[in-house]
């Protein structure tokens, strides 16, 4: 993990003597802590990592997490009581004047504790350097995301086997979670979206007791977490019989996605990929709108930094992992979204999700 720490330092725009990543209680645990330590097991509430320019890291671990913390390449110091944690912070930060903090992941109370332990320290937000580092994956991260994508691809291909008319949205969502975990996911990477009929026009619909009726769209957006890394996929089906309007919406989204995928390669800007795909949706005049970005970074977090969206500058680099998820939504009628995960290559992209995208009638 030393290489990751060194890359964070090389992406800094301000000089700092050291960087601290400090966790509060769930959900205020900074995923960058796991990025630099590589710990696959453990919760690590109340623990901290101090990073040094030579790539070394110290971990201040609670006694509860000690067994998960040892064995890696970090130097581990263990505390049993809060006062000991403050004392360890004080000792390790001795001599540090300029301390980098991850403003995107540090709570105010943890920052106050750091300042109490090290009065007069200059805390500098270096979250941009962390985001810039994490957005380009190393090969081991790509492989973990590939495994997470395999899980959701298999589950997406199973949907026609279990989905039936009269099923409730939350029942279908429960099937998705169960099947992902049966295939090795530690958990869903976010609450699965399962939306039927006009609910599918709401991109982030929360599943409820709505039942699937003939003629409805059935949209599923879900992800698996595997060894801390996320996947994300969306597939849309139709129950019973497909109408002309539904087919036009589906084909437009499929074409928009193909256009976006064909545009992606290192050196292209994410906003131009968004524009290429969005123009296909816009041509479906009166057919609905796309109120979200074309895609987002994916990694330890489901939204892992970076967006392909109008006006967002994102020069694509080799080994960035992004979703490509165009959609079209007609309020009161329904919506279609198709989402895959890609890894950016020099001359194109590799699609890591493999589930069928043929318009499938349930």
Task: Report the nearest approach of ligand GLY to the CB of residue 66 (Å).
Answer: 35
Task: Report the nearest approach of ligand GLY to the CB of residue 234 (Å).
Answer: 6
The size of the interface with Mn ion (CB under 5 A), counted in residues, is 2
d(CA 137, CA 318): 9
The size of the interface with ligand GLY (CB under 6 A), counted in residues, is 3
Residue 274 touches which member of Mn ion, ligand GLY, none, C-beta under 5-8 Å by kind: none
Nearer to Mn ion, 232 or 304 (CB): 232
Task: Report the nearest approach of ligand GLY to the CB of residue 97 (Å).
Answer: 40
Nearer to ligand GLY, 16 or 314 (CB): 314
CA nearest to 325, candidates 216, 193, 197, 158: 193
Determine contact, residues 231/148, Cβ cutoff 8 Å.
Answer: yes
- Three-state secondary structure call for residue 306: coil
Task: Report the nearest approach of Mn ion to the CB of residue 353 (Å).
Answer: 11
Q: Is position 232 an interface residue for ligand GLY (rule: CB under 6 A)?
A: yes
Task: Report the nearest approach of Mn ion to the CB of residue 325 (Å).
Answer: 5
Q: Cβ–Cβ contacts within 10 Å for residue 340, how many?
A: 26
Contacts with ligand GLY in 166-185 (CB under 6 A)? Answer: none
- Chain centroid to CA 129: 18
Nearer to ligand GLY, 137 or 296 (CB): 296
Task: Report the nearest approach of ligand GLY to the CB of residue 113 (Å).
Answer: 33
Q: What one-character-per-residue DSSP string does 72-139 give?
A: SSSEEEEESSHHHHHHHHHHHTTT--EEEE-TTT--HHHHHHHHHHSTT-EEEE-HHHHHHHHHB--H
d(CA 66, CA 74): 12
- Three-state secondary structure call for residue 222: strand
Contacts with ligand GLY in 278-297 (CB under 6 A)? Answer: 296
Can you tell me which of 113, 147, 216, 221 binds ligand GLY, judged by CB under 6 A?
A: 221
Can you tell me which of 113, 232, 304, 340 binds Mn ion, judged by CB under 5 A?
A: 232
Q: Which residues bind ligand GLY (CB under 6 A)?
A: 221, 232, 296
């Amino acid at each position: 993990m030393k290489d990751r720490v060194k890359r964070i330092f090389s992406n800094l725009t301000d000089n700092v003597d050291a960087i601290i990543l400090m966790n509060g209680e769930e959900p205020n645990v900074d995923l960058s802590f796991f990025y630099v330590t590589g710990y696959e097991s453990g919760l690590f509430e109340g623990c901290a990592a101090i990073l040094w320019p030579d790539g070394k890291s110290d971990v201040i671990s609670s006694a509860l997490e000690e067994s998960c913390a040892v064995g890696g390449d970090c130097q581990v110091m263990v505390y049993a009581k809060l006062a000991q944690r403050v004392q360890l912070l004080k000792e390790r930060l001795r001599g540090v004047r300029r301390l980098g903090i991850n403003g995107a992941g540090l709570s105010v109370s943890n920052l106050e504790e750091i300042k109490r332990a090290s009065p007069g320290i200059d805390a500098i937000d270096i979250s941009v350097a962390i985001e810039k580092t994490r957005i380009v994956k190393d090969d081991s991260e790509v492989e973990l995301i590939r495994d997470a994508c395999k899980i959701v691809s298999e589950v997406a291909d199973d949907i026609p086997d279990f989905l039936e008319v009269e099923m409730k949205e939350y029942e279908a969502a429960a099937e998705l979670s169960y099947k992902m975990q049966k295939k090795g996911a530690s958990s869903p990477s976010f609450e699965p979206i399962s939306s039927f009929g006009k609910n599918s026009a709401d991109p982030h619909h929360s599943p409820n007791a709505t039942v699937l009726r003939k003629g409805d769209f059935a949209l599923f957006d879900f992800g698996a977490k595997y060894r801390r890394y996320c996947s994300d996929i969306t597939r849309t089906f139709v129950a019973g019989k497909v109408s002309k309007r539904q087919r036009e919406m589906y084909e437009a989204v499929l074409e928009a996605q193909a256009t976006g995928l064909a545009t992606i390669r290192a050196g292209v800007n994410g906003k131009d990929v968004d524009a290429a795909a969005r123009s296909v949706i816009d041509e479906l005049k009166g057919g609905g709108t796309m109120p979200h970005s074309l895609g987002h970074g994916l990694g330890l977090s489901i939204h892992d930094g970076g967006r392909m969206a109008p006006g967002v500058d994102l020069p694509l680099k080799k080994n960035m992992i992004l979703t490509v998820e165009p959609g079209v939504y007609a309020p009161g009628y329904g919506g279609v979204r198709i989402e895959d995960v890609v890894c950016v290559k020099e001359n194109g992209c590799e699609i890591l999700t493999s589930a069928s995208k043929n318009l499938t009638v349930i």
